[in-house]
Chains A and B, each alone.
Chain A
Amino acid sequence: AQSVTQLGSHVSVSEGALVLLRCNYSSSVPPYLFWYVQYPNQGLQLLLKYTTGATLVKGINGFEAEFKKSETSFHLTKPSAHMSDAAEYFCAASWTSGSRLTFGEGTQLTVNP
């Protein structure tokens, strides 16, 4: 079955440190891939998405992600964490016609001063 896995339900970094949130998908067919962010008591907002073309995708708020087909991964990174980045992050995938978004379990990012 097609699935999305996020490694680490909680990630803690210091302000100014590198942020790395991991996402892997399980499928022989590469999907469309998305990262969403959810701030407390709010809905989800799109950070970035990969459909086709360039495998390094830049999103809002300084985040970027790289699609690696050989590793079936779509890890999210940001060079320098800011306090305002504290939130929950969801990786999601959509496969061929007729399928819907499948979400990972989410990763709660804490940024320490």
Chain B
Amino acid sequence: IAGITQAPTSQILAAGRRMTLRCTQDMRHNAMYWYRQDLGLGLRLIHYSNTAGTTGKGEVPDGYSVSRANTDDFPLTLASAVPSQTSVYFCASSDSHLDTQYFGPGTRLTVL
């Protein structure tokens, strides 16, 4: 069992480019989440999905979009990347929003 996988591991991106970060889980969890981690700020929730077909905005959703077409996949898209989106991005999943969240290994994104 792989748990949660994220791709790519790292990426350098020119400002203005479109980028999709991929996240796949094999635990059949209902809920999935995207966080960004920045020094001194901890983890901040970008978007979440309680179940396939539904999504919601977190604390810092601007500039990001998500979709949840099925249980396993939860891609995060930056439509037009800006330098302030340079961060480490973590995907997580859980059975429900009150349960333990399991985290992927992260994607380190640099926007120049």
A90: contacting residue among B33, B43, B92, CB under 8 A: B43
A100: contacting residue among B41, B97, B102, B105, CB under 8 A: B97
Segment of A13-21, A71-79, A102-110 engaged in the interface with chain B? A102-110
A-facing mask of B19-54, CB < 8 A → 1, else 0?
A: 000000000000001010000111111001000000
17 A–B pairs (Cβ distance < 8 Å), ordered by A: A9-B40, A43-B103, A43-B105, A44-B43, A44-B92, A44-B101, A44-B103, A90-B42, A90-B43, A94-B97, A94-B98, A99-B97, A100-B45, A100-B58, A101-B97, A105-B40, A105-B41
Q: Does A42 contact B (CB under 8 A)?
A: yes
Given A43-B90, A43-B106, A44-B90, verify A101-B40 contact (CB < 8 Å): no
Tally B residues with Cβ within 8 Å of A.
22
- The chain A residues found within 8 Å of chain B, CB to CB, are 9, 32, 34, 36, 41-46, 49, 51, 90, 94, 97-101, 103-106
Give B100's nearest chain A residue, CB to CB. A46
User: Chain A residues with Cβ under 8 A from B4's Cβ?
Assistant: 43
